[in-house]
Structure 1
Amino acid sequence: SLADIEKDPALLALARAKGKTVFGDNCAPCHGSGAPGAKGFPNLNDDDWLWGGTLDQIMQTIQFGARSGHAKTHEG
């Protein structure tokens, strides 16, 4: 679980390293390599999170996307 990952420094370091690669492959093409955003794609470095900034909310966005057509996707 996300809570277990947060509590274990070694597991958290592994998750961050893997997440960096996944971000580079899947998110950076639209949000930029440093996540500053681009036209039509929000900045992920600020505190203004369109779909929520908690770990659970971020996980939902990653799993189901935005406007993907999935029942749990974000729409707006």
Structure 2
Amino acid sequence: MPMSAAEIERLIKESLPDARVRIEDLAGDGDHYRAHIVSEAFRGKSRLQQHQLVYQALGQRMGGELHALALVTAVPED
């Protein structure tokens, strides 16, 4: 069963409370998303480390309920 964009956003915000999250359904099937995430937690981390934080927030759902998630991560602008 596909995940909703709201559920993806909820899981990310539980793990990264300051995050600004925008989710796009890329294929209209509830299975392929792009997430734009801005969080102070990403500061000083490589892109790989930033993405790992998001994948940790989603846990076992990646590859199961959530088939594909493209990530765009950034730190807040001052």
Higher helix content, 1 or 2? 1
Higher strand content, 1 or 2? 2
Higher alpha-carbon Rg: 1
TM-score by length of 2: 0.31
With a CA cutoff of 8 Å and minimum separation of 6, indicate the structure with the bigger relative contact order.
2
TM-score by length of 1: 0.31
